Every structure is written in structure tokens, then in C-alpha cells.
Structure 1
Amino acid sequence: MNILDRKEAAKLVKKLKSEGKTVVFTNGCFDILHVGHLRYLQEAKELGDILIVGVNSDKSVSKLKGPTRPINTQNDRAEMLVGLKPVDYTVIFTEDTPVEIINELKPSIHVKGGDYKKEELPETPIVEKNGGKVIILSLIQGKSTTNIVKKIQEN
């Protein structure tokens, strides 16, 4: 399976970059997959050769989204993501931000969704220090796990 631990992921990125490959990294909770996630991941994959997705651990999702989340476990979320065509590998991380894992992996490109500003991301300085670049993708309006959860609760 293409779910890596941090050490495996760091080793793989180093190897791929030494072969001249462009490694794209993104991260998120990806709690209930929806079309917004798919479009975002497809756009991210188009920027390079390999797409690695950092998946927030269950503990960090609860901290970020509240005590009723995540809906799906970290292992289930990671497995669902590697089942998607654009995703080559996933790696679970426990911190609230991806700064530490990005510093370990040193991807060529780090991508975030259109609801973020490059200058405000805590990870931007570390990506650039390691020779990578940060790219903000287009915003996919109205597609979010939070909206799906609300809709379920209302029904």
C-alpha cells in the first residue's frame, strides 16, 4: 500500500528528486471525500510527477475541527486518498500544521487551496528555505466536508 511513514516518505522524496522528478505535496484532513477534494488533487497532480498527501492524524483533526470530528479514521482517510487516481502516496502527520513534515520531506512544490494566502501560511518560509515553491490553487466554491456534515445533521 502507498501509505508511508515519515521516514519512508522522506527517503522516497529524496530519491525521486535525485532522479529529476518534481514532487508535489499537499495536506489536509480529507474527512469525507467530495468532488472539491478530487478537483483540488487533480490540479495539484498536474504540477508535478508525484503527488504526496499529508493526512492530519485523528488527534489533530479533533483539535482543528472540534470533538465530533473526524468522521473517518486517519487510516481510512489515508487509504481512500491513495485510491484516487491523482494521489501517489499518503503520509499521516500529528502536528496541527504541516511545517515539520514539510521540513522532513522537502517537496519541490507545496500546494494549498484558494482559501489560503501564500504569505500567511506558516509553512511558506520552510518550503522556500528548502528550495521549493508554494502554489495556491484555484478555490472550489461551496464544496466542503463541513457543509456536508451540516446537511446530514439538518436531515
Structure 2
Amino acid sequence: MVNKKLIERNNLDSVLNKYREENKKIVFTNGCFDILHRGHVEYLQKARELGDLLILGLNSDDSVKRLKGNDRPINNEIDRAIVLSALECINYISIFDEDTPLELIKIVRPNILVKGGDYKIENVVGREYSKETVLIDFVDGYSTTNIIKKINS
């Protein structure tokens, strides 16, 4: 399946150059987004509202496994990317294999770097490559871990 929103890292800079030339405000965020839920959707919508386009760095399967454990991800990276690409608020998705999105952030050079409210600004990876870093609070009661626990109980 061809997905116009899924962009390989080595093509990302050339895709984003036209937006930079038009002085569009580029927003970047990242995550695993293993089982998409309301909290994810509201977070992504709020991130998109901060600028003209939203670039999502999506952790690869190997990256998720290293961060979350051997029983994750539940959904593979292509399935997660396809589901996320259905959201209007996301313009482009790029999958990364590292534990952090630093190398991807260096390429994107976002105007605004967005992370969840569980972070502290000084701990946000790549903040030195963006003009601004914004923390967005999570929607209470929604998490992939809680969904998995509920399914297993």
C-alpha cells in the first residue's frame, strides 16, 4: 500500500524545504502510538494547532521493543503508520529506529517541538534544534498501558 504521508528519513528534508520557503510553521512530535486512543488523538490535534503542518516521528518496532519491553509493540510499525495517517492533523510520518528522535529532529528542524506533559522542558531531546518547545498535557485516564491491562484482566 502506498501512503503519501509516510516519508523516509532521507526524503524528509526535500519534502519540507517547500514549506520552509513558504515560511510555514513546522511542528514535530514523536512517539510509539501503539494502540491509538482518544488521548493520542487529542494530543496530536493540539500539536497540529500550534503550526501549519505536523510531522510525526514514529518509533520503529525495534525501538518500541527496546523502550517498552519484548511484548510490545502490539501493532507493527506499518499498521501504526497507516492508522495514524488517517488523522487529518498529521501531514507526514517518518519512522525512526533509534531510542530517541534526535537524528530526525536534526533533519526536520521544527519551529515547534512538542512533547507530552510528563516531560520537563530541559529533558526534551532535540529542543536545541527547534525554535520553541511546547509541552501538552495528556488526557487523564487514557494510556496504551492501561488499555493493555484492561484487555488482559
2:89 is equivalent to residue 90 of structure 1: no
User: Would you say how many aligned residue pairs link Structure 1 and Structure 2?
Assistant: 150
Between the aligned partners of 1:73 and 1:106, the Cα distance in structure 2 is 27
Q: Deviations along 1:125-153, whole A, 9 cap, x unmatched?
A: 3x24xxx2111112322211010001111
The equivalent residue for 2:148 is 149
Q: Give the match's secondary structure for 2:133.
A: strand
Q: Secondary structure at the residue paired with 1:3?
A: coil
- Give the whole-Å Cα distance in 1 for the aligned partners of 2:11 and 2:110: 14
Match of 2:22 among 19, 24, 29: 19
> Residue type matched to 1:145 in 2?
T
Counterpart position of 1:35 = 38
* Structure 2 CA distance for aligned equivalents of residues 48 and 10 of structure 1: 18
Alpha-carbon contact 1:23-1:51 (below 8 Å) kept: yes
Identity of matched residues, %: 49
Q: SS of the counterpart of 1:134? A: strand
Which of 43, 46, 49 in structure 1 is aligned with 2:49? 46
Which 4+ residue blocks in structure 1 deviate beyond 2 angstroms? none
Who is 2:104 aligned against?
101
* RMSD after superposition: 1.0
* Corresponding position: 1:135 with 2:138: no
Structure 1 unaligned blocks of 5 or more: none
> Is the partner of 2:54 in helix, strand or coil?
strand
Q: Does structure 2 retain, via aligned residues, the 8 Å contact 1:54–1:91?
A: yes
CA distance in 1, matches of 2:110, 2:12: 10
8 Å contact 1:33–1:145 — kept in the other structure?
A: yes
Instruction: Tell me how far apart the structure 1 counterparts of residues 13 and 147 of structure 2 sit (CA, whole Å).
Output: 34
